[in-house]
Structure formats: structure tokens, C-alpha cells
Amino acid sequence: MTQIVLAVHGGAGNLTRKQLEYPGRRGYERGLADALRSGQRVLLKGGSALNAVTEAIVILEDNDLFNAGKGAVLCADGSIELSAAIMKGNDRTAGAMVGLKRTKNPIRAARSIMGHAHSLLFGVGADDYAQSKGLDMVPADYFSTPFRRRQWQKLKSKSNAVLDHSDDQAATGTVGAVARDRRGNLATATSTGGMVNQTPGRIGDTPIIGAGSWADNNTCAISATGTGEAFARNVFARRVADLVEIGGLAPLAAAERTLDDIRRDKGVGGCILVDAQGGLALPFNTPHMFRGWLVGDAPPQVAILADEQISID
Ligand code: ASP
């Protein structure tokens, strides 16, 4: 039996040590640790990597500190558009949804279309499909929080779209999870509200399979976060996997090299990755990335700034 491995991220950005002082940062640490514990419960019972990443992401979507599900960032017109993608590594089936406005947990919507003839739905059709699968629907104001409205008001006047966590006060982000289960299967899941003040209708990297997410049992499972346009143009996650499989690079080296390409394209961000042997990599080219991981039944580890590792019991 293989060792179970799970990692999560909550977005990358420019937060400094000063902005991440206690007690403010405690909520993010708890949020990441709760998500890890939820996925760990699934994996320790012999559940699949796919179920583990789904349950970990649901916890983060329900936590309004993160830019996914409840607490997602606002578009330029004040609306909220949610996207998510999920993929499993044994058969490379995937599902993704773009521009959800009513589905409480976008990751469950993405999951609900796996194995269907289509793998990516957008807008009204995406919400309707999720509803037809019996998923929880909520009114649009369920997702919006006072913090996100203030953040949007502040950025609206500047008329540009930014990563939610590149604004001083906006210490939150897109969420992702990768896992390896006892059978050695890999899976990845990513969920986001996109970028603050984005033009309604924008599609970033998160729901694009191969850009924000990729999973293949032969190589690795990856979930990315950062400037979506650069990650999508570089087909980030698939490129990392190809550099491992075809280029023969170690996973961390493959991810760092692809992050260099992102930086060349003026993009910033990072990713979490678990490989077929259970190795973990969590590289990023920003001052911080909310991240956490665990192996077997060990307690979750969480970290935010580049030089940190904290054990949460
Ligand atoms: N990649 C996401 C997007 O561009 C944003 C993020 O990762 O925070 O929509």
C-alpha cells in the first residue's frame, strides 16, 4: 500500500511578514489545516484521491477568507463569477465549470460533469447542469462579503484587474488541492473567483485543464495559482508534467522552470504538486503562497511566507 499524500494552496501574492502578523493570520492557517484534515480523513479510510481533493476544496470554498465559493472576489460590475476544475490521474478524466453564479460549491459542479460527454460548461448552462445533478444552489448574495465589496470599491477606480492578494489588505486567494491515495492514484482540484475587478466573462487558467490543473498517474498532479493569463498561455500544469515525463526533469525543477517562463511573461504565482512516488513540491515566485501539506496520519503542516513551516495539531 502506498503512503497517502495531500497538499493544498490558498493562493499566492505579495503579503509581507508585517501584514501576516498574528492574530490575523491564524484564520488562514486554520482554514488550510481544516481542509487538509478533511482530505486526510478520506484518504486514511482508503478513499480516493479524487474524493480527498473534492472534500478539501469544499472546506476552502465554504471559508470566506479564500477567493473561491463564499468570499470570492468581485468582477468590475460587482458580480461574482466562479470557476473550478478537477482531474484524476488514473484515466485523465476531467471536469470544469466557468462563470457559475448559483452553485454553492463550484468544485462539486466540476466533479459532476466528469465522465460526461462534455468536460467544460459555462454560465447559465453550467449552473443549470449542477442543479440538475442535485447540487446545492444559493442566491448570488450568498458569495459576497463586506470585505470583498470594500476591496472591489477600492480597486474599481483604478480600472485594472489584480490578483486578490496583491492588494495590501487582500490576503486571500484561489484554492487548490492535490493528493495521492493508497492505491497510488493522483488527483487535482482548483477553484476560484478569478481576479479582483476582472471584466465579466473573463476566463483565467483555473478552469482550463492543462493550464491551472493537470493530473496523470505517470507523472504528477498539479494545481496552480497566479496571473491566469500567463499560466494559460504557457499551458502551465501540462508543461510541468511534460518536462517531468518527456524532459526527464525532477518535478520541483520542472515547476520552477515553468514558473520562470511565467515570470518572463510578467506573470506571478506558484503551484502545488504531488508526483507518482508521493514526492511534494510547492514552489512560488511571489513573497507568499498560502500552502499546507501532510503525509500519512501526520498532522498538517501549513506555511505562508517563503521561509516558513508550522505544525498545526
Ligand atoms: N489564477 C486565477 C485567475 O487568474 C487567480 C489566482 O490564482 O488567484 O483567475
Distance 177 CA to ligand 1 centre (A): 14
For the CA atoms of 58, 187, 42, 299, the dihedral, rounded to the nearest 10 degrees, stands at -90
Distance 203 CA to ligand 1 centre (A): 9
User: pLDDT, tens digit, for every residue of 46-57?
Assistant: 999 999 999 999
Q: What is the pLDDT of residue 171?
A: 37
Distance 174 CA to ligand 1 centre (A): 6
pLDDT beyond 50 at 169? no
pLDDT beyond 70 at 129? yes
- Indicate whether residue 195 lines ligand 1 (CB < 6 A): yes
CB 192 within 8 A of CB 224: no
Q: What share of the chain is helix, strand, coil (3-state, %, to 5)?
A: 30, 25, 45
Here the cell at position 175 is 484554492
User: pLDDT, tens digit, for every residue of 10-38?
Assistant: 999 988 888 888 877 899 999 999 999 99
Please state at what angle helix 236-245 crosses helix 251-264, rounded to 10 degrees.
140
Q: What is the pLDDT of residue 160?
A: 65
> Domain spans of the chain?
5-311
Query: Does 310 or 136 have the greater pLDDT score?
Result: 136
Q: What is the pLDDT of residue 168?
A: 43
Mutation pick for ligand 1 pocket among 65, 83, 192 (CB with most ligand atoms within 8 Å): 192
Rounded CA-CA distance 1/216 in Å is 19
State the closest ligand 1 atom to the C-alpha of 193, by its place in the atom list counted from 1.
Answer: 9
Q: What is the pLDDT of residue 313?
A: 56
Q: What is the pLDDT of residue 22?
A: 80
CA distances from 161 to 15, 43, 69, 212 (A): 18, 38, 19, 18
Query: Does 267 or 167 have the greater pLDDT score?
Result: 267
5-311 topology per CATH: Glutamine Phosphoribosylpyrophosphate, subunit 1, domain 1 (3.60.20)
Distance 182 CA to ligand 1 centre (A): 31
CB 290 within 8 A of CB 32: yes
pLDDT beyond 50 at 278? yes
User: pLDDT, tens digit, for every residue of 76-89?
Assistant: 999 999 999 999 99
Q: Per-residue confidence at 130, pLDDT binned at 50, 70, 90?
A: very high
Q: What is the pLDDT of residue 308?
A: 85
For atom 9 of ligand 1, the residue with the nearest CA is: 194
User: pLDDT, tens digit, for every residue of 173-232?
Assistant: 899 999 999 999 999 999 999 998 899 999 999 999 999 999 999 999 999 999 999 999
User: pLDDT, tens digit, for every residue of 92-106?
Assistant: 999 999 999 999 999
Q: What is the pLDDT of residue 312?
A: 61
Helix (H) or strand (E) holding 256: helix 251-264
Which percentage of the chain shows pLDDT scores above 70? Answer: 94
Contacts of 260 (CB under 8 A, 6+ apart): 285
CA distances from 28 to 60, 231, 281, 287, 308 (A): 10, 24, 20, 16, 14
In 79-174, DSSP assigns E strands to 82-88, 94-100, 120-122
User: pLDDT, tens digit, for every residue of 240-275?
Assistant: 999 999 999 999 999 999 999 999 999 999 999 999
Q: What is the pLDDT of residue 150?
A: 87
- Indicate whether residue 237 lines ligand 1 (CB < 6 A): no
Query: Does 310 or 301 have the greater pLDDT score?
Result: 301
**Which is the catalytic residue, given 54, 174, 219, 286?**
174
Q: Are strands 175-180 and 120-122 parallel, antiparallel or unpaired?
A: unpaired
Span 140-166, average pLDDT: 78
- Per the annotation, the verdict on 258 as an active-site residue is no
State the closest ligand 1 atom to the C-alpha of 198, by its place in the atom list counted from 1.
Answer: 9
Span 288-295, average pLDDT: 96
Q: What is the pLDDT of residue 72?
A: 95
